[in-house]
Amino acid sequence: MRPVLPPSFRRRARRVVTAAAVAAVVACPTTAGAVAPHGPVAPDPAAHEPLARYTAVVGWAPTEERTVGTPWTDGVAISPGLGRDVELQQLVDGAWMTRRSFPTGAGTWAAAVGLTGHWTQAPVTRWRLFVAGTADAAPATSGVKVVHASWEAGTDPADPTVLVTKDRAISPQGYRPGRLVEPDLATQGAWTELRPAAAKALGELAADAQDATGERLVLVSGFRPAGYQERLFDRYAARHGERAASRFSARSGHSEHQTGWAADVTQAGVPFTDFGGTPSSDWVDRHAWRYGYVVRYPRGAEDVTGYRGEPWHLRYVGTHLAAYLHHGGGTLEEAFGLSG
Ligand SMILES: [Zn+2]
């Protein structure tokens, strides 16, 4: 025989049910029609009210564009609100994942939330507010909010999100990073130092690439000072003409190499200009983002970046922005909403 619950407990349980549970109860009269030990239970007026009487979530605008790192605020009315938690949830691979939880006061309440890097691995993300059910109120959700994320370009060369293009020079002119180190991989040539964070990530990337492909990665160019870049460009311009040279080489003050965040790599035994199409290059294309690197000048993006494809030129941007770019964010210019 089924144990019979005391009336007070049964009344509480009825109010907690979710919308899905309501459907299940209607379809299964044996659980819905629990019989009290001493005759029928007095009707509970609250149980017959629509669920919406207990909880409402409003004020969540449906579509917004947000720059990563900036907060947005929305007013949310929840009744009864006091003591309840509102969860900010993101749709990840088809499931709602709670990102933050906010305690509420009574009545109207405003949520101030920011879109942080690790929550924006895709250019478009979907969010909602969710209030879990309690003994006194049903669960509720807001409408889905579609957020188009963008990033803000860094201007400080010490910032891994710094944007350096043909139109945006490094400032101050002649800048040199404060600290540079040799990364832990094979190197060629005279300029093979990087900033410590970029060097550490590149060492890990190279070790994992070698495990996966059996081929060694070689760093052929890291930090390069402004004076060296000037001589390099002049040499290319003398050989190929200035216009042609500017499609594959930066002018002094406009090279990412001067920031200490860029690394030209190749596969051991292969000239770096032939790096594209090698097993190492294919691996780098697929996995560099996990280490905070991106292939900065992808093939087919010359109209955006100003450069022909350079499979060898890797740029450290940090793992959050690299993940965003890899998952459909495009080039740095596109993530920042700018053109080269
Ligand atoms: Zn380069």
Q: How far is the CA of 118 from the centre of ligand 1 (A)?
A: 27
Predicted pLDDT at 139: 81
How far apart, in whole angstroms, are the C-alpha atoms of residue 114 and residue 331? 23
Residues 331 and 190 in one domain: yes
Instruction: Average the pLDDT over 304-315 and give the result.
Output: 95
Q: How far is the CA of 275 from the centre of ligand 1 (A)?
A: 12
Q: Tokens for 229?
A: 């870049």
More confident residue, 192 or 110: 192
Are 30 and 79 in contact, with CB atoms under 8 Å apart? Answer: no
Residues 72 and 133 in one domain: yes
217-221 β-sheet, strand order: 186-187, 217-221, 262-267, 310-316, 293-297
Residues 190 and 326 in one domain: yes
The last residue of a domain, from among 129, 150, 171: 150
Question: Is the torsion defined by CA of 327, 328, 331, 332 positive or negative?
Answer: negative
Q: Tokens for 134?
A: 């309690």
Task: Please check whether residue 57 lies inside any domain of the structure.
Answer: no
Q: How far is the CA of 230 from the centre of ligand 1 (A)?
A: 14
Q: How far is the CA of 83 from the centre of ligand 1 (A)?
A: 55
Predicted pLDDT at 339: 59
Residues 79 and 137 in one domain: yes
Task: Please check whether residue 268 lies inside any domain of the structure.
Answer: yes
Closest Cα partner for 273 from 301, 328, 322, 310? 310
Predicted pLDDT at 103: 79
Burial of 86 per CB tally in 10 Å (0-12, 13-18, 19+): buried
Provide the whole-model pTM: 0.78
Task: Please check whether residue 163 lies inside any domain of the structure.
Answer: no
Q: Provide the domain count of the chain.
A: 3
Cis peptide before 123 (omega within 30 of 0): no
Predicted pLDDT at 32: 30
Predicted pLDDT at 46: 45
Sorting pLDDT into bands at 50, 70 and 90, what band is 80? low
DSSP codes, 54-100: T-------SEEEEETT-EEEEEEEETT-TTPEEEEEEEETTEEEEEE
Q: Is the pLDDT of residue 6 over 50?
A: no
Q: How far is the CA of 256 from the centre of ligand 1 (A)?
A: 7
Residues 300 and 241 in one domain: yes
Residues 85 and 44 in one domain: no
Residues 132 and 219 in one domain: no
Q: Other C-beta atoms within 10 Å of 268: how many?
A: 13
CATH number, domain of 135, equals 2.60.40.10
Task: Please check whether residue 251 lies inside any domain of the structure.
Answer: yes
Mean pLDDT of the chain: 81
Q: How far is the CA of 313 from the centre of ligand 1 (A)?
A: 4
How far apart, in whole angstroms, are the C-alpha atoms of residue 24 and residue 22? 5
Q: How far is the CA of 214 from the centre of ligand 1 (A)?
A: 24
For residue 70, the cross-strand partners are: none
Domain that holds residue 38: 7-49
Polymer length of the chain: 340
Q: How far is the CA of 311 from the centre of ligand 1 (A)?
A: 9
Task: Please check whether residue 234 lies inside any domain of the structure.
Answer: yes
Sorting pLDDT into bands at 50, 70 and 90, what band is 79? low
CATH number, domain of 237, equals 3.30.1380.10
Closest Cα partner for 203 from 181, 230, 232? 181
Residues 222 and 297 in one domain: yes
Task: Please check whether residue 258 lies inside any domain of the structure.
Answer: yes
141-153 pLDDT tens trace: 888 889 999 999 9
The last residue of a domain, from among 90, 123, 150: 150
The last residue of a domain, from among 135, 150, 165: 150
Q: How far is the CA of 68 from the centre of ligand 1 (A)?
A: 27
How far apart, in whole angstroms, are the C-alpha atoms of residue 46 and residue 50? 9
Sorting pLDDT into bands at 50, 70 and 90, what band is 84? confident
Task: Please check whether residue 158 lies inside any domain of the structure.
Answer: no
Task: Please check whether residue 222 lies inside any domain of the structure.
Answer: yes
Predicted pLDDT at 137: 73
Q: How far is the CA of 280 from the centre of ligand 1 (A)?
A: 17
Residues 83 and 110 in one domain: yes
Closest Cα partner for 55 from 131, 143, 150, 154? 131
Q: Tokens for 24?
A: 């299940």
Predicted pLDDT at 191: 95
Residues 92 and 226 in one domain: no
Q: How far is the CA of 231 from the centre of ligand 1 (A)?
A: 15
Residues 325 and 215 in one domain: yes
Closest Cα partner for 35 from 64, 1, 79? 1
Residues 230 and 316 in one domain: yes
